[in-house]
A = this chain, B = another copy of it.
Amino acid sequence: MQSPTWKDPVTAADRVLLEIQRAIVEGQIPAGSKISEPELARRFDLSRAPLREALARLERCHLIERIPNSGARVVKLSVAGLVSLYQLRETLEGLACRLAAEHMTDQEIAEVQQLLDQHLSSQRVREGESYYQEAGDVDFHYRVILGSKNPYLINLLCDELYFIVRMYRVQLGMNGPRVSRAFDEHKAIINAIANRDGELADLLMRRHIGASRRNIESHFKQQGN
């Protein structure tokens, strides 16, 4: 799935960015490991200039941490980090809901409702296909965030926080459960937005994300990462 906020990767730095993002999110480059510029430059067959451009953007979305004259490391996942991240997400997506209830057109709302019905039916057919479930979840949240019509908020959630959230979910194997419940929660949220009840949509979204956080959190503890 490609964010509607991204342009297609025209430059070499763009392309290598996408590859490294995927590699980090999927754990192919392990969390906490050191990033070697010469090594990655060889691996992706380009010079260090576009690679450093990509590293700058990776730092921007919190996937790596850089220390001047020392180098970059992939971020380490932790319970504290997860909690901090989701505290932020709850508040931000809650705000997105409130603004979406104000700014989304009736047609945009109808499209999201239609989308949910599509996902629900296709999910019932492909029982357990986690990819479509996650794609659907991401798609729903994207629509609402875009519906806020707030450029800063959109950039923040879709570009800066999206990948680190995904990294937590992917590396802890959060694909399967919570499917039908999530669909119900999505429906309730979009209905609140359709009724122009921003307060309620905000509350429901916070609950929705809070539940998701507790879900991941429990996996975290039981496998003791």
What 1/0 mask marks residues of chain A from 97 to 108 whose CB sits below 8 Å from any chain B CB?
001000000000
Chain B residues near A156 (CB-CB < 8 A): 88, 156
Chain B residues near A68 (CB-CB < 8 A): 7, 10-11, 14
User: Distance in Å from the Cβ of A189 to the closest Cβ of chain B?
Assistant: 18
Contact B10 A62 (CB under 8 A): no
CB nearest to A62 among chain B residues? B152
Interface size class of A (residues with CB under 8 A): 20 to 34
CB nearest to A84 among chain B residues? B150
* Bound CA–CA A151/B10 (angstroms): 33
* Bound CA–CA A94/B94 (angstroms): 13
A95 at the interface (CB under 8 A from B): yes
A109 at the interface (CB under 8 A from B): no
- The stretch that binds B, out of A32-40, A48-56, A118-126, A130-138, is A48-56
Contact of A56 among B56, B62, B69, B84 (CB under 8 A): B56
* Bound CA–CA A180/B87 (angstroms): 33
User: Distance in Å from the Cβ of A90 to the closest Cβ of chain B?
Assistant: 9
Chain B residues near A73 (CB-CB < 8 A): none
Chain B residues near A62 (CB-CB < 8 A): 152
Interchain Cβ contacts under 8 Å between A and B, 18 examples: A7-B68, A10-B69, A11-B69, A14-B68, A49-B49, A62-B152, A81-B151, A84-B151, A84-B153, A87-B95, A88-B150, A88-B152, A88-B156, A91-B91, A91-B92, A91-B94, A152-B161, A156-B156
Spell out A's residues near B (CB within 8 Å): 7, 10-11, 14, 49, 52-53, 56-57, 60, 62, 68-69, 81, 84-85, 87-88, 91-92, 94-95, 99, 150-153, 156, 161
